[in-house]
Amino acid sequence: MNQKDEIRHKVWSKLTEEKLGRFPFPLTNRIPNFKGAEAAAKYITEMPEYKEAGIIKVNPDSPQLPLRTQILKDGKMLLVPTPRLKDGFIQVKPEWVPKGEERKAASLSSIMNYGKVIPLSKMPSIDLIVVGSVAIHRDGRRLGKGEGYADREYAIIRELGNKEVPVITSIQSAQMVDDEIPVDVFDLTVDWIATEKGLIETKSPYPKPTGIVWAEVSEEDMETMPVLKEIKELISNKKL
């Protein structure tokens, strides 16, 4: 088990042993849902960065459901990556959601009844990004569940020309670690951490990816994430 995996398993075990997790179980090998997710979401909605944002990209995992719900209630556009980045991003406009159905529309099981997958060529400019995490260091270093989707999603957004925007994660405070989390060139760091106790600004010294590190993209990645092929074509067409 490598260093990153050791830290992940330590956090999953801690949340499980201290009964800080919530359905779905087991917490391992996923972005863990946690007690206090609603409080963490509320802290985010009180941030000026949130209030000024019109379009917000949020991961599809359970602990961020309260935030996705509130985004729609607040009349903002929600962007959610499709599972395993198979088809890019799902767009949900608040006017597409009947009043009282925001939570249902924000859930992964029902989101396609309210939103639609948009081609990368039609991606709007995103104002704020929220990611889930397994472990977080106070200086913004982050570990997801180990498959690299949040890193890739951010890289895709930047590759498409989106400006650099604030990146926030919401976690249980028990997911904060002091371990030395290794940082690779493609790893996404966060600017703010929201917990059930409040907000922490990381002032992270680590640069974020400015686009896709194509040297790290394998043929298997291209097959399992067709969206990467789509981006390569878009880039080639721009150069022609």
Q: Which of 141, 135, 160 is nearest to 212 (CA)?
A: 160
Q: What is the pLDDT of residue 240?
A: 46
In a 13 Å sphere around the CA of 210, the CA atoms on its Cβ side amount to 1
Q: What is the pLDDT of residue 233?
A: 86
214 phi/psi in degrees, rounded to 5 = -65, -25
For residue range 76-98, what is the model confidence (pLDDT) as tens digits? 999 999 987 888 899 999 999 99
As a whole number of angstroms, the distance between CA 77 and CA 114 comes to 12
Q: What is the pLDDT of residue 239?
A: 61
Q: What is the pLDDT of residue 15?
A: 98
Task: Tell me which residues of the chain have a pLDDT lower than 50.
Answer: 240
